[in-house]
Amino acid sequence: MTKPFLLGAVAYDAKVVTIWDGFQRWFAQHDFAFDYMLYSNYEQQVEGHFSGHFHVAWNSPLAWLQAERIAVRTGRTVKAIAMRDTDCDLTSVIVVRQDSPIQTIRDLRNKTVAVGASDSPQATLIPLLHLAEAGLEPEKDVNVHRFDLLVGKHGDHIGGERHAAKALIDGRVDAACMIDGNHLLFAREGTLPANSTRILAQTAEYDHCNFTVLDTAPIEAVARFRELLLSMSYDDPAVRPLLDLEGLKQWRPGRTEKYALLARAIDRFHTVDAFVDKVSNACR
Amino acid sequence: MTASNAVELGRLGLDQGGYLLIKHALRTVPVGSAIQVSGESPELAIHLRSWCRTQGHRIDFLSQTSADHAPIAIIYRGGAETGRWVGAQSTGDASMPQQHAPACWGLAGRSATVEAGSPSFEFPLNTRTEVWAQEVARLYAQALAAQWNPIAAIPWNEPFDLPDEIEDAVVQVMTYLIENETAALIIPARFAAQIHPHFREVMQLLAIQAADEARHIEVFTRRALLRRTKLGLSTAGGQASLKTLLDETDFTLSGMLLSVLGEGSFLSLLSFLHQHAPDPVTREIARMVSQDEARHVAFGVAHLTWHVNEQPSCLDRLAIAIERRHDMLANTAGLNEEVFDALILLAAGSLQPEALRAGWNKVQTLIADMDQGRIKRLRKIGFPDSKAQSLSALHTRNFM
């Protein structure tokens, strides 16, 4: 039996099993032996990746940066080979109530801003960087109310953002941070009724997840895996439900330039320093 | 850019349904072609960006604000929506079902377009020959219009006074009817869940048939307990006869045994009860129930006539099923003695010898009437006269 090409993924939701079981079947139909292993958090997954437990990681943007920094520190190379179309060119927004007297970012001084999980790029790190770069240092110039749901899953679970939005509507906080698409989603599901909120600020663009490989990954298998991913078509009824579950219409080649914003955020807040130190030292 | 390719949202936001206008406009242009969007909602640009991302459309922004109704963005239609319907299947004509309904049509209504990759549902009754009847839509409409409310339709409070032995006889007959109607509820309910929804009229008719039987169980129970605290006797032979009906897994054979022969015989019994019931409540119950049962019999006959017409060899299968049931029940008592006696008493109205003789004669007439009814229906389905007579004679002594 051919040794399968192994993927590591984080189980941020029960649907993750459905998704990767489905992809496994699809890959098998295309004569590609594929299997996956699940981690409960991205830090375990990144450590597992550097320990050689699997060949490719389905990484959050923060996990990508962790992997990239550990690779630099340990003389390894790391590559993002593919991502979802919906991972590209995201922004986050800072939202206030429609009737709020807050009109500019500066008005948030000494106010309370709700964010998602502490390791969520979209609902916490990037919006807080936006505030910081606008002159409002989090926890100093502005109070931060964290909805620290499922730390370790890097904000993949939407719960933290939803709690932040509810807190805004309930009047418990002055502003809430979320990914741009969730402002529309929360309006549709009724969490944020139409016209009840106003977008105060929008961050610059950034990218989200990617498939990450290290230099030790089998070259041919990686190439075949990537080729098959990019060949998946939304027209194909066998794969369409999986693409719907994973939230994309099309896989795209990986790119890394739009992780710069998040990199700035973690540099400023020292979010991953200790973890990167620990894993890098263990790898030496 | 033509007028139809330009969407002016005004103050309507995407979070207020504005995306519907954009979707509508995108459907008017080929994949890869563009539409322009303008609008004044403050969040429009942000919402357009995220909406296009999730929908798989490319977007180019012309400006972040929409001064003087100038277009804010150009959206290029992506292929996801058309891609979703590649390989979709039509489920045929709305008015007439197809001969075979595939499992992948699932729960979709007739004439709907079903997305490829939809889950398969295993409905074992999936051919028109197996389930259909020419009159099924009309019978369903009729059934729907003829539903009745037991509280209002039956004169529960009308005064009457029966001798104890006659009341006991009524309770015994009701006890018998309840278990028969329970079988008549379970059987269509079970088949309703096996019929491919493509043949929705049959599924609907069976569902309403089950609801009819639920109502019958209710009124028979209520009549039995009107003057008593418990029901009468249930015999092993009677239940053995009904069990053979429940054990029949073939829809057509079940239709023959239950609807044509069983419920057909019941029509005579209900007419008998309506005619000879000793009290107004029983009389009205028999009349109302009889109307429902007539529809059940009509569907059974219509379905079997259709099936035999489409597949004449089916007649042999039907005959074998009747003979097999007869053989299985040959060593059982059939109709319980208590029911038979109760029918005589009920028709007699008293224990007076002359009244009993009259009651006896009426029950004999009932049995002959049941036989004639069965023969008539068997002939209608397609059995020659002599075969219809011999098959009718094999019908269970339990009536149902």
Enumerate the domain spans of chain B. 3-83, 88-122, 128-393
Q: Do domains B3-83 and B128-393 have the same CATH topology?
A: no
Residue B56 has pLDDT above 60, yes or no: yes
Which residues in chain B (56-95) have CB-CB distances under 8 A to chain A?
56, 78-80, 83-84, 86-87
Interface residue of A249, A250, A252 to substitute, partner B, most B CBs within 10 Å: A249
> Could you tell me where the DSSP H helices lie in chain A?
15-29, 42-50, 61-74, 126-133, 159-169, 180-189, 219-231, 240-246, 260-269, 273-283
For A187, which residue in chain B has the nearest alpha carbon?
B15
Which of B16, B46, B80 is closest, CB to CB, to A183? B46
pLDDT the model gives residue B68: 62
Among A181, A204, A200, A193, smallest CA distance to A263 is for A204
Residues of A in contact with B42 (CB under 8 A): 198-199
Among B85, B40, B88, B90, smallest CA distance to B64 is for B40
Contacts A–B by Cβ distance under 8 A = 72
Among the CATH numbers 2.60.40.60, 3.40.50.920, 1.10.620.20, 1.20.1260.10, which is that of B128-393? 1.10.620.20
Q: What is the model's pTM?
A: 0.82
Partnered with residue B60 across adjacent β-strands are B74
Q: What is the pLDDT of residues B247-267, one digit of tens each?
A: 999 999 999 999 989 998 999
Cβ pair B142, B295 in contact under 8 A: yes
Among B83, B35, B41, B84, smallest CA distance to B60 is for B35
Number of residues that make up chain B: 400
Q: Is B119 on the interface with A (CB under 8 A)?
A: no
Among B321, B344, B334, smallest CA distance to B399 is for B334
Q: Is A190 on the interface with B (CB under 8 A)?
A: no
Among A175, A157, A171, smallest CA distance to A115 is for A175
For A72, the 3-state DSSP assignment is helix
Q: Is B247 on the interface with A (CB under 8 A)?
A: no
Give, as one character, the DSSP assignment of residue B238.
Answer: H
Average pLDDT over every residue of A143-147: 95
Quote the strand ranges of B56-167, DSSP E: 58-61, 73-76, 89-90, 113-114
pLDDT the model gives residue B395: 83
Query: B56, A234: Cβ pair inside 8 Å?
Result: yes
Q: What is the pLDDT of residues B21-42, one digit of tens each?
A: 999 999 999 999 999 999 999 9
For A246, which residue in chain B has the nearest alpha carbon?
B54
Mean per-residue pLDDT of chain B: 93
Confidence label for B61 from pLDDT (cuts 50, 70 and 90): very high
Cα(B278)–Cα(B345) distance, rounded to whole angstroms? Answer: 10
Q: Is B16 on the interface with A (CB under 8 A)?
A: yes
Helix (H) or strand (E) holding A114: strand A112-115
The Cα diameter of chain B in Å comes to 104
Partnered with residue B220 across adjacent β-strands are none
Q: Is A85 on the interface with B (CB under 8 A)?
A: yes
A282–chain B nearest CA distance, Å: 40
> Could you tell me where the DSSP H helices lie in chain B?
19-26, 44-55, 80-84, 128-131, 136-145, 150-153, 164-192, 200-224, 236-247, 251-254, 264-276, 280-310, 314-329, 337-348, 353-381, 385-393
Q: Which two tokens stand for residue A76?
A: 């390894």
Which residue is it, tokens 């809430």? A176
pLDDT the model gives residue B4: 62
Q: Is B120 on the interface with A (CB under 8 A)?
A: no
* Non-local CB neighbours of B186 within 8 Å, separated by 6+ positions: B246
Residue A151 has pLDDT above 70, yes or no: yes
B100–chain A nearest CA distance, Å: 23
Cβ pair A25, A178 in contact under 8 A: no
Which of A85, A89, A238 is closest, CB to CB, to B117? A238
pLDDT the model gives residue B333: 60
Cβ pair B191, B125 in contact under 8 A: yes
Query: B79, A241: Cβ pair inside 8 Å?
Result: no
Confidence label for B399 from pLDDT (cuts 50, 70 and 90): confident
Residues of B in contact with A208 (CB under 8 A): none
Which of B42, B43, B83 is closest, CB to CB, to A235? B83
Which of A93, A202, A237 is closest, CB to CB, to B116? A237
Among B35, B33, B3, smallest CA distance to B19 is for B35
Which residue is it, tokens 């502003």? A175
Q: Which two tokens stand for residue B31?
A: 């994949």
For A247, which residue in chain B has the nearest alpha carbon?
B54
CA distances from A45 to A57, A214, A215 (A): 8, 13, 17
For A94, the 3-state DSSP assignment is strand
CA distances from A276 to A66, A215, A268, B12 (A): 6, 18, 15, 47
pLDDT the model gives residue B77: 97
Q: Which CATH superfamily is domain B3-83 in?
A: TusA-like domain (3.30.110.40)
Confidence label for B237 from pLDDT (cuts 50, 70 and 90): confident
Query: B50, A180: Cβ pair inside 8 Å?
Result: yes
pLDDT the model gives residue B99: 96
Residues of A in contact with B87 (CB under 8 A): 235, 237
Which residue is it, tokens 């050689």? A52
Cα(B123)–Cα(B112) distance, rounded to whole angstroms? Answer: 18
Cα(B99)–Cα(B80) distance, rounded to whole angstroms? Answer: 33
Cα(A255)–Cα(A111) distance, rounded to whole angstroms? Answer: 37
The string over A99-111, giving b where at least 16 C-beta atoms fall within 10 Å of a residue's C-beta and e elsewhere, is: ebebeebebbeeb
Q: Give all domains of chain A, ordered by start, each with its CATH number.
A: 5-87+208-283 (3.40.190.10), 92-202 (3.40.190.10)
Query: A91, B116: Cβ pair inside 8 Å?
Result: no
Interface residue of B31, B48, B50 to substitute, partner A, most A CBs within 10 Å: B50
Confidence label for B3 from pLDDT (cuts 50, 70 and 90): low
Interface residue of B12, B49, B81 to substitute, partner A, most A CBs within 10 Å: B49
Query: A199, B42: Cβ pair inside 8 Å?
Result: yes
| Pairing mode of beta strands A175-179, A92-97 | antiparallel
For A251, the 3-state DSSP assignment is strand
| Pairing mode of beta strands B34-38, A210-214 | unpaired
Cα(B186)–Cα(B191) distance, rounded to whole angstroms? Answer: 9
Average pLDDT over every residue of B146-166: 96
Q: What is the pLDDT of residues A171-199, one digit of tens each?
A: 999 999 999 999 999 988 889 988 899 99
